[in-house]
Amino acid sequence: MADQIDHLIEDAPILRLDAVHTDIRQYHILNGVDLVVPRGQVTMLLGRNGVGKTTTLRSIMGHWRIHRGSITFNGADISTQPTADIARAGIGYVPEDMGIFSDLTVEENMQLAAFSGPMSATRLGWIFATFPPLKTLWHTEAGHLSGGQKQMLSVARAMIEERELYIIDEPTKGLAPAIVATMVRALQDLKDQGASILMVEQNFAVAAALGDTAHVMVDGAVKWSGPMRALAEDLDLQRSLMGFSLQTAARDQSATKSS
Amino acid sequence: MIQKILSYDTPRSIALSMLLLCIFAGLALAPFLFPGVRTVDTAARICIFIVLVASYDLLLGYGGIVSFAHTMFFGVGAYSVALTSLHLGRGFDALILGAAIGAVLATCLAAAIGLFSLRVRAIFFAMITLAVASALAVLVSQFSDLTGGEDGLTFKLPRELGPAFKFGQTLFDGTVFGVKLNGKLLTYYLVFGTSLVLFLITLRLVNAPFGRVLQAIRENEFRAEAIGYRVVHYKIAATCLSAAIASCAGALYAIWLRYVGPSTTLSLELMIDILLILVIGGMGTIYGAVIGATLFLLTENYLQAAMGRLTSGIGDIPVVSALLSPDRWLLWMGILFIVSVYCFPKGIVGHFRKDP
């Protein structure tokens, strides 16, 4: 019996959104979002600008309060819980604006994120190996870091302690290609460790490389859900859902480079 | 050892360290270096204002919480000591009990204000604190039977803290370096020692993980919440701690003056002085309170006299002597502060301090 229950828990999604509606002031942004994040997988949340991806993540974290629907994390409804309790329930969140504390040093930023106790040396070693600049800038005020370094710190802060779910909002936004590669390696590492990740990503190539499952949002609701590979291979589907295809995106990129 | 006492938060600048060391030495040896009623009185006020402003820095500089009720907590401490001394008699027990009651009352009052108003936007919190502080100031002046109204209360300190109490007669013949060993000297060192301890406690608080969380909240409230810190709880805790320390400073002020009154402890002018001292010294540094309070109180107490000497020295030059007339000291003080804010936008400490 106990084995059966364990099996059921293991199979149950780590996060589930059912018909979530969110208003921001007078604007109705989320219009019934249904989303399932399976355990131990990377789930991509895709869509054009302004369809409500970031609002979905912020609604999960309790920054915007939903007014209808439910958000279930590990089987418990978290939609009315304070943000701090949602985070302490086991969610590491990397916001779109990085949200680093620029008056504090890199070390202090990391210490704050490790709220369970002192930082683990093993985990810190892994972070330093993944993001070497953080080691050299350990005692520097985070406000003095470059954009890429700030993004590294933002992701590292979520990774300093093992979390049951990582919610990452556009980790490669505005980064130089070399740093995008570092970021992808870091996220791949996290994925290989069996972490559950929900990620918003505008760089489709990165999404295709990392994602297991994809949800595409259109006008405040999830319009298409399925394996990431199926979306990556279907150019017409990409075009109809997101207004571009991976092929044309790659062509545009090479055209920009050659010009 | 010194690093540990300073909670590993050193001034991080040679010039600043020297300046702070000079102020420390000046205050520690004030009765011997600058004997005189007025100079020692200025030194004691500097000690008390350092604590008062440092406790406000914990709130504003670290937590980013704008409050206009800080003088109210200062006043609560001062009135508690005065009332216990008046009703329980002149004894150290009355002073200690008064300070403890003041600190507890201030904490409760801060918690109540915080619980009701820290969830609202910063500007509303500031307005609420202003309203509560003004209401308490009115209450104090109205309940004259208890508080002495606008006249305030004069009370007696324990005999050991009075000028008539002499000590060290056999050992030092009653004087050291020409300074009489009496109760007033003991009172000064009580004020100095307690202020030093309270200052170091404040420094410890802001350098503890608690202080880091406050800084994080100041910078990005949602982000601090999203990594697992209940912002409102931390804000209330900061308000309470800062109120308790301000109340202790108020208790010291009452002990030093042997008097409390609405204008010396509860006035809005005092609140503006605190803000000014913090801005000049440097917010979010704690050391800013030391530099700011010293500079402000020295200017307030000696600028007029210095200008008097200057005008008598330069003789009767038209316009210039009118401008430098001692009656215009407030004008020059204002100009000095505008220049200091213009030259040091991050405050004096913020300007000189190097990044860690």
Going from N- to C-terminal start, the domains of chain A cover 2-87+165-181+193-258, 91-162
User: Which amino acid does the sequence have at B83?
Assistant: L
**Of the candidates B212, B220, B226, which has its C-beta nearest A108's C-beta?**
B212
Q: Kindly identify which residue of chain B lies nearest to residue A106, measuring between CA atoms.
A: B356
**Of the candidates B209, B228, B355, which has its C-beta nearest A141's C-beta?**
B355
3-class DSSP string for chain A: CHHHHHHHHHHCCCEEEEEEEEEECCEEEEEEEEEEECCCCEEEEEECCCCCHHHHHHHHCCCCCEEEEEEEECCEECCCCCHHHHHHCCEEEECCCCCCCCCCEHHHHHHHHCCCCCCCHHHHHHHHHHCHHHHHCCCCEHHHCCHHHHHHHHHHHHHCCCCCEEEEECCCCCCCHHHHHHHHHHHHHHHHCCCEEEEECCCHHHHHHHCCEEEEEECCEEEEEEEHHHHHHCHHHHHHHHCCCHHHHHHHHHHHHHC
Instruction: Name every chain A residue with its beta carbon within 8 A of the beta carbon of B215.
Output: 101, 103-104
Total Cβ atoms within 10 A of residue A251? 11
Q: Calculate the CA B52 to chain-centre distance.
A: 3
Cβ of B222 within 8 Å of Cβ of A111? The answer is no
Spatial separation of the C-alpha atoms in residues B92 and B149, rounded to whole Å = 25
Tokens for B19, please give them.
């300046």
Cβ of A105 within 8 Å of Cβ of B230? The answer is no
How many CB pairs below 8 A link A and B?
66
Instruction: Name every chain A residue with its beta carbon within 8 A of the beta carbon of B218.
Output: 103
Q: Does B230 touch chain A (CB under 8 A)?
A: yes
Best B8, B210, B223, B285 member to test A by mutation, with max A CBs in 10 Å, is B223
Q: Note the pLDDT of residue B355.
A: 65
User: Which amino acid does the sequence have at B12?
Assistant: R
| The length of chain A, given as a count of residues | 259
Q: Please, what is the angle between helix B70-88 and helix B37-57, to 10°?
A: 130
Strands A221-227 and A213-218: antiparallel
Q: Is B327 exposed, middle or buried (0-12, 13-18, 19+ CB in 10 A)?
A: exposed
Total Cβ atoms within 10 A of residue B267? 16
Output the pTM of the full model. 0.88
Q: Kindly identify which residue of chain A lies nearest to residue B285, measuring between CA atoms.
A: A103
Q: Note the pLDDT of residue A5.
A: 45
Q: Does B20 touch chain A (CB under 8 A)?
A: no
Q: Note the pLDDT of residue A242.
A: 81
Q: Does B41 touch chain A (CB under 8 A)?
A: no
Q: Note the pLDDT of residue B58.
A: 96
- Region for residue B82 given its phi and psi (left: phi exceeds 0; alpha: psi -120 to 50; beta: otherwise): alpha
Q: Kindly identify which residue of chain B lies nearest to residue A138, measuring between CA atoms.
A: B356
Q: ipTM value of the model? A: 0.84
Q: Note the pLDDT of residue A1.
A: 45
Q: Note the pLDDT of residue B248.
A: 97
Tokens for B111, please give them.
């918690």
3-class DSSP string for A196-236: EEEEECCCHHHHHHHCCEEEEEECCEEEEEEEHHHHHHCHH
Q: Note the pLDDT of residue A253.
A: 55
Spatial separation of the C-alpha atoms in residues B284 and B298, rounded to whole Å = 23
Closest CA to B249 of B270, B265, B273: B265
Q: Does B8 touch chain A (CB under 8 A)?
A: no
Q: Does A101 touch chain B (CB under 8 A)?
A: yes
Q: Does B354 touch chain A (CB under 8 A)?
A: no
Which domains, and CATH codes, for chain B?
A: 2-352 (1.10.3470)
**Of the candidates A83, A105, A112, which has its C-beta nearest B216's C-beta?**
A112
Q: Does A81 touch chain B (CB under 8 A)?
A: no
User: Which amino acid does the sequence have at B75?
Assistant: G
Judge contact between A169 and A110, C-beta under 8 A.
no
Instruction: Name every chain A residue with its beta carbon within 8 A of the beta carbon of B226.
Output: 61, 63, 83-84, 87, 93, 95, 99
Q: Note the pLDDT of residue A244.
A: 65
Judge contact between A64 and A58, C-beta under 8 A.
yes
Q: Note the pLDDT of residue A252.
A: 54
Q: Does B216 touch chain A (CB under 8 A)?
A: yes
Top CATH class of A2-87+165-181+193-258 equals alpha beta
Query: A36 forms bridges with which residues in the sheet?
Result: A16
Cβ of B222 within 8 Å of Cβ of A101? The answer is no
Instruction: Name every chain A residue with its beta carbon within 8 A of the beta carbon of B225.
Output: 82-84, 87
Q: Note the pLDDT of residue B159.
A: 87
Spatial separation of the C-alpha atoms in residues B240 and B252, rounded to whole Å = 19
3-class DSSP string for chain B: CHHHHCCCCCCCCHHHHHHHHHHHHHHHCHHHHCCCHHHHHHHHHHHHHHHHHHHHHHHHHHCCCCCCCHHHHHHHHHHHHHHHHHHHCCCHHHHHHHHHHHHHHHHHHHHHHHHHHCCCCHHHHHHHHHHHHHHHHHHHHHCHHHHCHHHCEECCCCHHHCCCCECCHHHHCCEECCEECEHHHHHHHHHHHHHHHHHHHHHHHHHCHHHHHHHHHHHCHHHHHHCCCCHHHHHHHHHHHHHHHHHHHHHHHHHHHCEECHHHHCCHHHHHHHHHHHHHHCCCCCHHHHHHHHHHHHHHHHHHHHHHHHHHHHCCCCCHHHHCCHHHHHHHHHHHHHHHHHHCCCHHHHHHCCCC
Q: Does A167 touch chain B (CB under 8 A)?
A: no
Q: Which residues of B106-123 are buried (b: 16+ CB within 10 A; e: fewer)?
A: bbebbbebbeebbeeeee
Q: Note the pLDDT of residue A74.
A: 93
CA distance to partner chain A, nearest, from residue B222 (Å): 7
Q: Kindly identify which residue of chain B lies nearest to residue A154, measuring between CA atoms.
A: B223
Q: Kindly identify which residue of chain B lies nearest to residue A167, measuring between CA atoms.
A: B226
Phi, psi of B162 (to 5 degrees): -95, 155
**Of the candidates A84, A103, A157, which has its C-beta nearest B225's C-beta?**
A84
Q: What is the pLDDT along chain B (356 residues), one digit of tens a residue?
A: 888 888 878 888 899 999 999 999 999 999 999 888 899 999 999 999 999 999 999 999 999 999 999 999 999 999 999 999 999 988 899 999 999 999 999 999 999 999 888 777 788 899 999 999 999 999 999 999 899 889 999 999 988 888 878 887 777 777 788 778 888 999 999 999 999 999 999 999 999 999 999 999 999 998 999 999 999 999 999 999 999 999 999 999 999 999 999 999 999 999 999 999 999 999 999 999 999 999 999 998 898 888 888 888 777 777 787 788 888 888 888 898 899 888 998 899 988 887 66
Judge contact between B179 and B31, C-beta under 8 A.
yes
Residues of chain A with pLDDT under 50: 1-9, 259
Instruction: Name every chain B residue with its beta carbon within 8 A of the beta carbon of A104.
Output: 212, 215-216, 219
Instruction: Name every chain A residue with its beta carbon within 8 A of the beta carbon of B227.
Output: 87, 93, 112-113, 115, 157
User: Which amino acid does the sequence have at A176?
Assistant: A
Q: Per residue in B177-228, pLDDT tens? A: 877 888 899 999 999 999 999 999 999 999 999 999 999 999 999 899 999 9
Q: Note the pLDDT of residue B110.
A: 96
Q: Does A112 touch chain B (CB under 8 A)?
A: yes
Instruction: Name every chain A residue with its beta carbon within 8 A of the beta carbon of B223.
Output: 95, 99-101
Cβ of A87 within 8 Å of Cβ of B227? The answer is yes
